Structure 1
Amino acid sequence: MRSRCLVFVLIFLLSTACFAQPIGTWQEHLSYQSAIATGTDGSQLVAASPWAVFQYDPQAATFTRFSKINGLSESGIKTIYIDGPLTIIAYTSGQIDLLEDGKTRSVNTLRLSNIPADKKVNAIWKENERCLLATGFGIAVLNIEKAEIGDVYLIANGGVYSKINSIAADADYYYAAGEAGLYRASRSASNLADFRSWTLMSGLPAGAVHKVFIWQNELYVQIGNQLFKEEAGGFISIYEDNWQWQGVDTSSSGILLAQRTNGAARVLLINNAGEVQTSLVHPLIQWPHQTVYFQEQYWVADSLNGLINIDGNFVERLAPNSPAGIGTGGLVAGATGWWMANGNRLSRFQDGNWQLSTTFDAIGPLLETGDGGLWVGSMNSGLGLFRDGNLQVFREELLDESVQEPGMYKVGGLALDAGGQLWISNDEAARGVLVRRPDGTRQSFEIPFFYPSLRVREIVIDELDQKWIASPGNGLFCLNGTNDQWRFYQAGAGNGNLPSNEVLSLARDQFGFIWIGTADGIGIIQCASQVFSGDGCDAILPVVQSDNFAGFLFKGEAVQTIAVDGANRKWIGTKNGVWLISAGGEQTLLRFTTANSPLPDNDIRKIAIDPKTGTVLISTAKGLMSYQSTATEGSRTNTNVLVYPNPVPPGYTGTIAIRGLVSNAVVKITELNGRLIYQGRALGGQFIWNGLDLNGKKVATGVYPVWISNDGRTEQAVTKIVFIQQ
């Protein structure tokens, strides 16, 4: 029995390795390389990026991640507060999460309130089960036990809305750092919601107070780049410099100042007399926000380098495995892995891990070379070829400089034709399109139309070797390179019939149609072979009947990205989420937003699909997510058929997937005696099954042959699924 269990576990693990992400599930790939806040619960560190939270255990050197995938209600974190096992997470929307022992309770009172002012929580002060929240409109009182906002204090003169930056308290008073100065109220006051219970303290410079805190039973106030201390009923300045102060915190041995100026950064430790005791300077410290002293070591939350541990001369950067940042440029899922451009960095996902690759200025479009390399377009500095860890850069020897910004070499789009030639949209150049041949020679093409901005971006090549080039604000160009023929598509009947001249995205589908995403919906070129003959070929504007789309397809939506999956379905990204639509666009199959999925933001920048696994990569304004879809790219043969899970374990109710099939294969599942259990067609190269027979009943324990063939029955294969029921 034990050997049977071991065999089952081994087969299941091998099957799982082939299908790392189950059908219909999400995985987060948010960046933890930026930290804006940190603290300790006494045994481990807690740090927040702008998009998620992680815990770090220094003893075990392990990370625990928290995001919308596993309990957080939002992304867009403003600040956190740690009190033992409790972490209070405040979001820019006013939403609050109470994270404790891996479980989350959410407080949405502020977010849903009709307060016509800034609801962001700037700082948190806690005492027992009660928290005072410094917000953009005043003070909100949070009851931890009930997970609710119990009261609101509008403490500014007249009870008007006024931003509060920080809150502190001693034995006698509450203190609030506000835009008008430092407020104080007696702890014995009967009604703190009455603005008359609060008074502005004198002795400080006029204007906003940025932070107030108590350290060693003394009151301190930060105003800009100056620190004041209360003495004998007044305030004295104990420290001032010309640096920008990012954060002020306390430790057992002093006050910690996180600072930055002119590209330099440091963390200072000063005593109660304002004397500098320690200065922490290191290349990793670039944009510090908050510092804690824990286990006789310094821990710095840095927005460029994550959580930094400083122990004497030993400095270490700590972050869960993740990409360098949010996607700001190209996104590719292909044979060499997943690639995402993050500003000046490339991030690559391979074998379950993210690696931070080469640095290149303003990375834009990305394209696999087809032989293991990656073309990397820059929006300023030319074209890079990344191979085996090395970056080769092409500038004036290949590209023409920008007319708008001389000395800049801009790549707006990249595409490979069937002959291995690289086609480049040379953005803002006088000759906007060029081709680089495999032997390194080049030819450039002048676009023979007036397009004022000289903008050329995404480029797609159709089956006739025609090049389609997006020109945001102008329309769409089509080039027949053989005859040097051009066609200019713009909005309006007779001009090309685009929905808008603001062309944002392009895709070629399996029918050979060109899908054009604009600022006002989608147009489709369905007659590419007639572009340069007869009456030409205008775009059609599909009309759909749907609750979401009444009329033209995506009318009123900015279609920022389009991707085609193995079943020829279209994944559409807009500023309002993600849609999956049928091959012809007549039906909406799925829609994902922040409200019904773990997406961190509805602003969808790029979508890419891994052809082998069917994983859909969705790059948003706040980070990358992946969704395991049902369709993969079809194979030419059925020689690498994989089934997941296999064996099907007891109690499993998820989707069973059969991958590696010829496109749109016919699949039949039978009993050993040949009786049909289920049949259907693959979505591209993948067939999915819910484990129920034709009568809707769960199949019994046993071995079930799977018969696979294409329509002509020239490609046939047989595999098996094993069910183990309790």
Structure 2
Amino acid sequence: MFKRLAIFIIFLCPLLQFSQDYSALWKGHFSYNNIKDVSSGNNRIYAASENAIFSLDTQTNEIEEINTVNGLSGETISTIYYSETYELLVIGYENGLIEIVFDNDDAIISVVDIINKPTIPTTDKRINHFNAYQDVLYVSTNFGISVFNLERLEFGDTYFIGNGGSQIQVNQTTIFGDYIYAACMDGSGLRKALVASPNLIDFQNWQTINSGNWLSIESQVDKLYAIGTNRRIYQIANDVLTERFLYPDIPMDMRTVNENLVVTTQKEVFVYDTSFNITSQAFIDPSFDTQYNAAIIDSESIYIGTRDFGILKTLLVNPTVYEEVHPDGPLLNIPFSIEAEPGGLWVTFGEYSFFYNPYPLNSRGFSHLKDGNWINTQYSDVFEARCLNNVAINPLNTNQVFISSFFSGLLEVNEDIPTILYNETNSGLESLTLPDDPNYIDIRVGPTLFDKNGLLWTTTTLIDDPLKSYNPSTNRWESYSFTDIISDGFSGGNLGFADLVIGPDDTKWIASYKFGVIGFNENGGAQLIKSISKQDENMPIELATAVAMDKRNQLWIGTLNGLRVLFNTSNFFTDDNVKVTEIFIEEEGVGKELLFEQFITDIEVDGSNNKWIGTADSGLFYFSSDGKKTIFHFTKDNSPLPSSSIRDVSLDSANGIVYIATSKGLVSFRSGGSSPLEGLESAHVYPNPVRPTFNVVDEKVKIKDISENVNIKITDIEGNLVAEAQSRTNQRYSGYNLEIDGGTAYWNGKNMANNVVASGVYLIMLSDLDSLETKVLKLMVVR
């Protein structure tokens, strides 16, 4: 009943916003290892990671995920609270946003009142704690206390309780007796006021009972406790503080659960009875070297939110054995570089700055999505390789991959096990050289890529011979100088390389920081090298950020300030007047440059020669093959992207999946397209039969594994033409009943008269226009 009332209220309040459920085509691949807060209710434990939540059913052990695909914002979560009375989960964020998730309901409500308050600095809007009392939540924030009514789903008063009504950081509130107490920072101490006072908005009604900085305050039946930044817990009686215990490490959380006081420090969990006797104490398990952030209990177990292992579950009466509980996912929610494979994905977590500076060096492993499960390799297993970035999969042995380190060299991984780290001692890789420290070792390997012959090409920053090849079969390295372009590898101004692609003529196209796009070809030993970076070559800036070769051998170039295309790549080395071209489109009768001055982070070409283009702050674009038509434009506001800052994009062409790495997590979009095959031997149609329950108009019949240049005719059993399409004419998203997207065709079940066909057997006749190969498929339609 409460929930239905809340839904009605939504339509009356402009500051409440619905979020959509995108689970049909999107999937979240979030990490749930770093748990910031926990809550419980109705036999479920709720755990919040940085920007996603999971729940554990304590009776069935079923785990459910709540993330941007379900409608969460993707912002950074700071605290959560579950209300059994109203059957809803309240989520607080560092930016002041509050979101409400109802049980058994797809709707997620965003409450933006705090975000929209102009009188509160952006840095002070963080939600620190929710304290439920009767039908309201007291919301502790970095500016004071706000009151949120759970029944009406609306804000009431805001209390600025600092001296003179100033804004101060409140970490937690609690109700004890007739008073509401607040634990404050900034030297503002512990404060209290009569909870029934009609004028709590007046700071003069708040009394300071102790100065200093306080992390938390909590009531337990007939007792009141507070914890200060000095790591001491005090019992408060008649406004007098009595020290009870000094914790050996920093207290992170204090709460009351079923009359038990639960205190979580970075390394321990203490459970106290009403007489402050320790009834249970959970230590850090050596098998799970981590930090504790928050904990909650039920009648049998302790559930500990950790920094690295999700929830650790252990027995309340004997907390010695720990069980790791969280959804499957990658190591972290900060993907830096991704590389898709059929049915899987490799993820690294970098990283280096815009200026190609890897410092401060990070110590992170990598993740591999394989057969629907995540295999996570910790830093301890990668031979101390720092700043892992680009992944290259060996096309001749897909169980072998190479991962670049932007400090330590090149890591070889076989069957998901790191086997060797290539550096200056055992390979052709070179360290940069500091003029004042000849012993300094720093091997900054960036973009790497296998060519069609199984030769690995790597780029190393700040050396004279940055381009190197490695043959895994012979263990042979070759080095190639760029001094014709970059006179001095270390001091020549080129801080790094952003991307690498290899053309059909074996030319290596490399996006550089200082010299635009560099083209290199071995040319049988008579090496060719040239760059294009200047304004008179129509480059908007010398800083290139992405390159991609499309199916027409046109080079698409992303830069810090926009998009360019090199339409004729064949004469690049011979033409003295090579220029790149911008793409112009028409919007509302006005011509404009496509992606004008956008910071482009990645370009990917799919099986239909369409382009996926990621940007630094404007989301992800999907363009037609010539860039003239925008098919999709996904942002944080209109899709499950947790951020509009796109770091990398990779395509699983075999399964029609687009993986998208953002600054706040990883998601995938099932675009449905696939790469064409050489012939028609594997072509098939599904679903077959088409049953009455199948929504053929929207979900469409798929004809998969077709060749690149194909004609498709669909006829009824009597030979009457129902639909027809050709690869280069009836492309997807063009409004035809039968459309072709790379290696897959889509039919909406309609005939030439635009009516859904009747029940019967239909013939799908495929003709390869290049090889003249044909194939006929039969399809049963039941309506």
Q: Secondary structure at the match of 2:204?
A: helix
> How far 1:661 sits from its partner (Å)?
0.6
What's the counterpart of residue 576 of structure 1?
A: 618
Deviates more, 1:596-605 or 1:251-260: 251-260
**CA shift in 2, pair 1:388/1:56, >3 Å:** same
1:349 aligned to 369, 380, 390, which one?
Answer: 369
C-alpha contact 1:403 1:430 (8 A) present in aligned 2 = no
C-alpha contact 2:170 2:184 (8 A) present in aligned 1 = yes
What's the counterpart of residue 303 of structure 1?
A: 307
CA distance in 1, matches of 2:132, 2:660: 38
> How far 1:309 sits from its partner (Å)?
1.0
What's the counterpart of residue 10 of structure 1?
A: none
What's the counterpart of residue 445 of structure 2?
A: 411
Deviations 1:13-68 (A, max 9, x none): xxxxxxxxx99711221222221111221522111111211111233222111123
Deviations 1:586-619 (A, max 9, x none): 2211101122111111111111111112211111
1:695 aligned to 753, 756, 773, which one?
Answer: 753
**CA shift in 2, pair 1:435/1:715, >3 Å:** same
**CA shift in 2, pair 1:78/1:582, >3 Å:** same
CA distance in 1, matches of 2:588, 2:32: 38
Is 1:632 the equivalent of 2:636? Answer: no
CA distance in 2, matches of 1:241, 1:101: 38
After superposition, where does 1:379-390 map in structure 2 within 5 Å? 379-390=406-417
CA distance in 2, matches of 1:551, 1:578: 19
Q: Secondary structure at the match of 2:535?
A: coil
C-alpha contact 2:495 2:514 (8 A) present in aligned 1 = no
What's the counterpart of residue 185 of structure 1?
A: 193
Deviates more, 1:571-580 or 1:35-44: 35-44
CA distance in 1, matches of 2:394, 2:708: 25
Is 1:428 the equivalent of 2:470? Answer: no
C-alpha contact 1:377 1:412 (8 A) present in aligned 2 = yes
> How far 1:525 sits from its partner (Å)?
1.9
Aligned residues: 695
What's the counterpart of residue 737 of structure 2?
A: none
Is 1:680 the equivalent of 2:682? Answer: no
> How far 1:83 sits from its partner (Å)?
2.8
CA distance in 2, matches of 1:59, 1:277: 22
C-alpha contact 2:709 2:770 (8 A) present in aligned 1 = no
Is 1:199 the equivalent of 2:176? Answer: no
What's the counterpart of residue 390 of structure 2?
A: 365
**CA shift in 2, pair 1:304/1:403, >3 Å:** farther
What's the counterpart of residue 335 of structure 2?
A: 328
What's the counterpart of residue 212 of structure 1?
A: 217
> How far 1:70 sits from its partner (Å)?
2.6
- Identity of counterpart residues, as a percentage? 25
Is 1:485 the equivalent of 2:543? Answer: no
Opposite residue 200 of structure 1, the aligned amino acid is T
Deviates more, 1:395-404 or 1:411-420: 395-404
> How far 1:662 sits from its partner (Å)?
0.5
C-alpha contact 1:78 1:120 (8 A) present in aligned 2 = yes
Deviates more, 1:575-584 or 1:141-150: 141-150
Deviations 1:333-381 (A, max 9, x none): 1247222224523322233332324643332100110112212112222
> How far 1:686 sits from its partner (Å)?
1.0
TM-score normalized with structure 1 length: 0.90
**CA shift in 2, pair 1:216/1:686, >3 Å:** same
Deviates more, 1:635-644 or 1:396-405: 396-405
CA distance in 2, matches of 1:59, 1:687: 46
Deviates more, 1:298-307 or 1:384-393: 384-393
**CA shift in 2, pair 1:186/1:27, >3 Å:** same
What's the counterpart of residue 575 of structure 2?
A: 534
> How far 1:226 sits from its partner (Å)?
2.7
C-alpha contact 2:337 2:661 (8 A) present in aligned 1 = no
After superposition, where does 1:514-553 map in structure 2 within 5 Å? 514-546=555-587, 551-553=592-594
Q: CA RMSD for the aligned pairs?
A: 2.6
What's the counterpart of residue 4 of structure 2?
A: none
CA distance in 2, matches of 1:600, 1:549: 32
CA distance in 2, matches of 1:211, 1:621: 32
1:294 aligned to 298, 303, 311, which one?
Answer: 298
> How far 1:327 sits from its partner (Å)?
4.6
Deviates more, 1:351-360 or 1:134-143: 351-360
1:655 aligned to 699, 715, 722, which one?
Answer: 699
CA distance in 2, matches of 1:144, 1:93: 21
What's the counterpart of residue 37 of structure 2?
A: 37
CA distance in 2, matches of 1:708, 1:469: 39
CA distance in 1, matches of 2:752, 2:618: 38
**CA shift in 2, pair 1:197/1:522, >3 Å:** same
After superposition, where does 1:46-65 map in structure 2 within 5 Å? 46-65=46-65
Q: Secondary structure at the match of 1:499?
A: coil
CA distance in 1, matches of 2:40, 2:255: 13
Q: Secondary structure at the match of 2:69?
A: helix
CA distance in 1, matches of 2:294, 2:259: 16
Opposite residue 468 of structure 1, the aligned amino acid is W
Is 1:724 the equivalent of 2:760? Answer: no
CA distance in 1, matches of 2:647, 2:725: 35
What's the counterpart of residue 446 of structure 1?
A: 481
Opposite residue 91 of structure 2, the aligned amino acid is I
What's the counterpart of residue 235 of structure 2?
A: 229
Deviates more, 1:510-519 or 1:38-47: 38-47
CA distance in 1, matches of 2:308, 2:588: 44
C-alpha contact 1:425 1:457 (8 A) present in aligned 2 = no
C-alpha contact 2:610 2:622 (8 A) present in aligned 1 = yes
Q: Secondary structure at the match of 1:560?
A: strand
C-alpha contact 1:247 1:288 (8 A) present in aligned 2 = no
> How far 1:679 sits from its partner (Å)?
1.9
C-alpha contact 1:24 1:629 (8 A) present in aligned 2 = no
CA distance in 2, matches of 1:689, 1:177: 63
Deviates more, 1:66-75 or 1:599-608: 66-75
**CA shift in 2, pair 1:533/1:274, >3 Å:** farther
Larger relative contact order (Cα-Cα within 8 Å, sequence gap ≥ 6): 1
**CA shift in 2, pair 1:112/1:670, >3 Å:** farther
CA distance in 2, matches of 1:364, 1:713: 41
**CA shift in 2, pair 1:160/1:128, >3 Å:** same
Q: Secondary structure at the match of 1:721?
A: strand
TM-score normalized with structure 2 length: 0.84
Opposite residue 365 of structure 2, the aligned amino acid is R
Q: Which runs of 5+ in 2 are unaligned?
A: 1-21, 351-363, 727-739
CA distance in 2, matches of 1:159, 1:722: 74
**CA shift in 2, pair 1:273/1:295, >3 Å:** closer
CA distance in 2, matches of 1:642, 1:145: 54
